[in-house]
Structure 1
Amino acid sequence: MPLASTGELVTRAAAARSAVASFNIITLEHVEAVVAGAESVNAPVVLQVSENAVGFHRGRLLPLARAAVAAAESATVPVALHLDHVRSETLLRQAPEAGFSSVMYDASRLPYEANLAATRAAVRWAHARGLWIEAELGRIGGKDGRDGPAGPPPDAHAPGARTDPDEARAFVAGSGVDALAVAVGSAHAMTTRTAALDHTLLRRLSGVLDVPLVLHGSSGVPDGELAAAVAGGIAKVNVGTALNIAMTAAIREFLGAHPEAVDPRRYLAAGREAMAGTVAAFVRVLAPGAAGGPASA
């Protein structure tokens, strides 16, 4: 089917008090696994390409983006493309022609006023081209768990970091963004699902903001916490590390059992299947009406 719009998927999810699962892709196997997992539970999904993933592909966006577009157009469920954590103006400007309907513009390393100004300018440019824009306050996902250097706001997902509701309301109003990623206790690159979210703060943020809320770093959030976050106002949930954990574990297991294997199709197939199962499991939690989810069990 035709490419879906991230904004439309998230808006519908917010109205239904559910959330769209958005998965970061790195390889073609990631793309195929996300689509297969979403199809298995008959639910829409967002394929996300981060600036880091583009860097892994030697700075070239189009090869992975075109594979994602082709997979989306042959899918039996709505699939949208989202460009994630974009700091490069050059990369931002490639988004429309590459098939992306949305961008998470990341100026969070800048002090608040500079972040606001840069995000406002990006929003103007993007909206003129039909792009839906997500942003954040502070840096989401501190992969090393540390605060940023003096000057910028602390890492939005460092221990104890939280989004201030009043500042968030001013930022959304001043920038014109379509969605805001909020810091309520998750962290990027977690390999254990032990994060505890601040649901009281999330309800406050949901009450003062008139745009959909996004949760980054969701791989480390247990199912119950994710379900409560969706009930509290989260409408888009980003997942990346969980796919890589599933893929790596399956490949290790396969190669351990088949040390003679040299054909990558054999072990990549195992990794792809494991990722598809992970996708389906997350979608069932975030969209209870999905096949096999609580509402259809």
Structure 2
Amino acid sequence: MTQTTIGIIGGSGLYAIEGLESAEWVSVETPWGAPSDQLFTGMLDGVRMVFLPRHGRGHVHTPSTVPYRANIHALKALGVTDVFSLSATGSFREEMAPGDFVIVDQFIDRTFAREKSFFGPGLVAHVSLAHPTCPRLSDVAEEAAKAEGINVHRGGTYLAMEGPQFSTLAESKLYREVWNCDVIGMTNMPEAKLAREAELCYASVAMVTDYDCWHPDHDNVEVSTIVQTLLGNADKARGLVRRLPGLLGAERAPCPHGCDRALEAAIITGTEHRDAEMVRKLGVVAGRMLSGAG
């Protein structure tokens, strides 16, 4: 058994949790540059928590400039074992209304301007993403949401777009009617891919703010409308997060779905051919598989 450390990636206000003890901001250096911000750490109900403002305090990073590799590396470096990603999304489904939460289980990645892997020339790996989120953490997120009285939907496909602009009407209809997506956002990719490469269990909680632009009875997406719904979702999100330590517990068994062993069949480059600098950079993320190599 290992000790549970919960990582929360989301908005700047998520760390304002009543009862968080020994709280402090921590700076983490990574070989991938600086994370979005310092990370806020503390203890909640006997479980260590690490909060990362995805866009930085004050929302200074666009979806494309979020330093995803540095963020996941920083969480891993601080001992995080389980990651909950909370993010604002649009909805393609009438029943997934603004203010609802969706526990995402699939992604379609339409981003194109981001580094999507820790690995590269000199050290090649191919992880499985058939099931990109951890069912164990998704169960916990769903239970926490229901306990908070949140209208939550279990399962959904998240369309990750590059942004920062919102969809055209033609795109919105394509994603909804042809690709059968459920929600749309700009930040869960490559975040989920990198979490898998770092052998971190990852759950995605989509907080619906709008109906994108497909819905004939609703106005086109406006930032002011989204912000109003975001504020309403913020209290719900803090309530959900507040329940996670009690549901997960302080001690952690190996993931029954293998998320924490994702690299065991993924690294292709033979030991004698691995680039020493790549091995060094990947020491935190993949050190379990690379120790003694290089």
Report the TM-score when normalising by structure 2.
0.26
Determine which structure has the larger strand proportion and give its number: 2
Structure with more contact order per residue of length (Cα contacts < 8 Å, sep ≥ 6) = 2
Greater share of helix: 1
Q: How high is the TM-score relative to the length of structure 1? A: 0.26
